[in-house]
Chains A and B, each alone.
Chain A
């Protein structure tokens, strides 16, 4: 546990050598140190080594055999803080009980990619994490061989103890670490065969679990420093509006309030990173001594807002193109729906075309056409956006929840003019990410505020600020068409997808490659509502829509929905259409067969209202079967069976947790959640009007199965979410006899008299 590091600063620190990754971690986290000093127990202090020896940037070994492994990537609940160090420990051949995990500081010279996004932490870290462990192991073995004057080949190691096969000599890592630190870093190291894994593939508990269940300070919002002030923002009430004026005099006199001013986070001439997404650059800032005082002052503040003509011009043009009178440029959900249905498809561009789809549709005996939509969504991380900043004349210390520290560092550099080497960004554990904290405007805001005040400050968003601040999942729309010939055979497939302001289309994913005549088109419409990646971007809608359409198609063709998909995948595997298909048809079919088997699909309990779906994204394959019943016009989800192929599973029980969570997240948002707009204003701003899935609505059981194919790990944080929305829609159809085309489904459930089939 990371607690043991208490007191590092009081003792002699790193004995450093050159480093495999090309750099060194020097110094340590001043905040983490301060924090843990308070927590350190006597028992833990006794485990402290007197000296640490750093063998490379990923790890250091204490003279008593304790090993500290740095977890490079941001922890947002995906559990990489446990699973990434497990991979290092595996190759290091160390007893996991002797491992302490620490969050690494931002240092891309050593850790290369330090980003939580795209379900890529394990996939992209796999080789470097293993190499770091294996390199250190090799250096320890070499040091022991030198000391005993025997060849390295005669040595073996288990749980951090090196033994010599020709004698009874043995030595612990702690005893040889000092010598190992002097060994030249090997140019090549051998990695283990999968069969020899002892830690990878075994379930290890979350390294922060004890701190979580005892309420220890772990999150950005838990940061308190001497002299620190609390800052909160007041932002425009609607997208398309901006600050005009304010009367702050009364508020400045309120108890505990120290300052009220405006900031411009991203001036127009500033070069932005991709992650610098912010709907509102100009903000009012209220600063005070305590959070409650600042919250009260915010409410009392008199601010005038005005329309920003530059922001709203594009929307006015769109409105006029839709023949709407009185175009204001302030968006509403009705406007969005109308634009997506009537204007979007007219802007379509062909992205992929196989065969002669137009001709096939002309000659079709029957064409089935269905359209699907979804609303904007907020991320709603349970820990609202926040960041601690202490900016002095030439130095910036930043501490808090950020998924993209590397990019945030560049933004702070450009915005504040402070040299990169004087900007220190430390990552806290995060109360959720889901893509929201990829966009670090709140970090930049905190830095700007601290610089202006010349004091340490914690910027805190209220829930309302957080939910109405934009960076939403876009609204999407897709129309599918299928051409059937006189024999009820599928002859062509057409997908036309778009959204505000991006298209959810993945033109080269299934069923591309499985159909002779295929057409994929894409379009987008402008908006002044800011959007961002939301767990499984684009897939989080199009998977459910596509899998619903395939379900309906299978029914129209009189086929079993799983067998229908398997037949298509067989074609894609044996004789693929086109060359750019980006999925492995055999692995895709594999999860479908697994879920068929595990759910007892073929045993045919026809009383069950069950739906199936399968999808490929973030390099992984997931198939799900969902069983539900309807009670009082609300679905009760009895069971979900999940089959997952994400290659090697590093930490099985934690991976199951992730699949369970992704499944519940997907069900919840497809069923209940939406952000709607009137006159540019979000109509939901807290959990009383933004419905999130709760205990009662969660599935009664979730059964998770992993394929075991020995392939290097692929993504897991996102892939379980997209297909479940299709499985849900298909099960709802079984239960109600009606198809569900428009998310959130609960709106349609409420407006129809649902009937139970059984």
Chain B
């Protein structure tokens, strides 16, 4: 066990954990930020996607020892009032079915739009291919990303 100082959603906090503990389980078990989901544990499903210094990463593969001293944003911190353009687009298109993968989808999509505000269809598919939706909302996700990409705020 060791103590790590991490900054999550702009908030600095200390966490006691084994250095090998993935950020995913620190978020969920230690900090009770449960919006970041466990789906596979091997970076194959994308349900655990967070922003690490602005880029989308799979938090199940990021040990807390590497996460410390970096800027981390989770779905809970994507926007203050749940009104990030991607979240708004998700609501407008009514994307979710079971909803379990959607936080990860939204984190991947918002990271994409940050670096590429007007992605093409194939750029969207490439950026999102690591996020599985078991219910099959892929077409709606793409529609929502396009909607958000045209938004003035994005």
Show the binding face of A for B, using Cβ within 8 Å: 76-79, 203, 205-206, 208-210, 212-219, 221-222, 224, 230, 255, 290-293, 295-296, 380-384, 429-434, 462-463, 653-654, 657-658, 660-665, 668, 686-688, 692-696, 698-702
Contact of B91 among A203, A210, A296, A657 (CB under 8 A): A210
Top-5 shortest CB links A-B: A215-B35, A77-B98, A431-B100, A664-B136, A215-B75
Task: Evaluate contact between A291 and B28: CB separation under 8 angstroms.
Answer: yes
In the bound complex, residues from chain A placing their C-beta under 8 Å from that of B135 are 77, 432, 661, 665
B9-54 contacts to A, CB under 8 A, are 17-18, 20-22, 25, 28-30, 32-42, 44-45, 47
In the bound complex, residues from chain B placing their C-beta under 8 Å from that of A206 are 94, 96, 99
Show the binding face of B for A, using Cβ within 8 Å: 1, 17-18, 20-22, 25, 28-30, 32-42, 44-45, 47, 74-76, 78, 82, 87, 90-91, 94-103, 106, 121, 124-126, 128-142
Task: Evaluate contact between A79 and B97: CB separation under 8 angstroms.
Answer: yes
Q: Pick the most buried of B74, B130, B137: most chain A CB atoms within 10 A of its CB.
A: B137
In the bound complex, residues from chain B placing their C-beta under 8 Å from that of A699 are 139
Return the chain B residue nearest A224 by Cβ: B32
Task: Evaluate contact between B74 and A215: CB separation under 8 angstroms.
Answer: yes
Contact of B44 among A383, A668, A687 (CB under 8 A): A687
Return the chain B residue nearest A651 by Cβ: B94
Contact of B25 among A291, A383, A662 (CB under 8 A): A291
Alpha-carbon gap, A352 to B82, bound state (A):
58
**Given the contacts A382-B101, A686-B40, A687-B40, A696 and B129 also touching, CB distance less than 8 Å:** yes
Task: Evaluate contact between B138 and A291: CB separation under 8 angstroms.
Answer: no
Task: Evaluate contact between B38 and A692: CB separation under 8 angstroms.
Answer: no
Closest Cβ–Cβ distance, residue B136 to chain A (whole Å) = 3
Return the chain B residue nearest A666 by Cβ: B136
Given contacts A212-B96, A215-B36, 17 further A-B contacts (CB under 8 A): A213-B75, A213-B106, A215-B75, A255-B18, A382-B100, A382-B132, A382-B134, A383-B98, A433-B98, A463-B42, A654-B94, A657-B95, A660-B136, A661-B136, A693-B138, A695-B131, A700-B139
Contact of B138 among A221, A658, A686, A695 (CB under 8 A): A695
In the bound complex, residues from chain A placing their C-beta under 8 Å from that of B20 are 292, 296
**Given the contacts A77-B99, A210-B91, A213-B106, A657 and B137 also touching, CB distance less than 8 Å:** yes
Contact of A686 among B25, B42, B90, B102 (CB under 8 A): B42
**Given the contacts A213-B82, A213-B91, A462 and B138 also touching, CB distance less than 8 Å:** no
Task: Evaluate contact between A218 and B99: CB separation under 8 angstroms.
Answer: yes
Alpha-carbon gap, A434 to B21, bound state (A):
32
Contact of A431 among B82, B98, B124 (CB under 8 A): B98
Task: Evaluate contact between A210 and B99: CB separation under 8 angstroms.
Answer: no
Task: Evaluate contact between A693 and B136: CB separation under 8 angstroms.
Answer: yes
**Given the contacts A78-B97, A686-B42, A292 and B138 also touching, CB distance less than 8 Å:** no
Task: Evaluate contact between A660 and B34: CB separation under 8 angstroms.
Answer: no
Return the chain B residue nearest A721 by Cβ: B136
Return the chain A residue nearest B75 by Cβ: A215
In the bound complex, residues from chain A placing their C-beta under 8 Å from that of B99 are 77, 206, 208-209, 212, 218, 429, 431
Return the chain B residue nearest A219 by Cβ: B100
Alpha-carbon gap, A661 to B40, bound state (A):
21
Task: Evaluate contact between B18 and A688: CB separation under 8 angstroms.
Answer: no
Alpha-carbon gap, A547 to B128, bound state (A):
33
Alpha-carbon gap, A212 to B90, bound state (A):
10
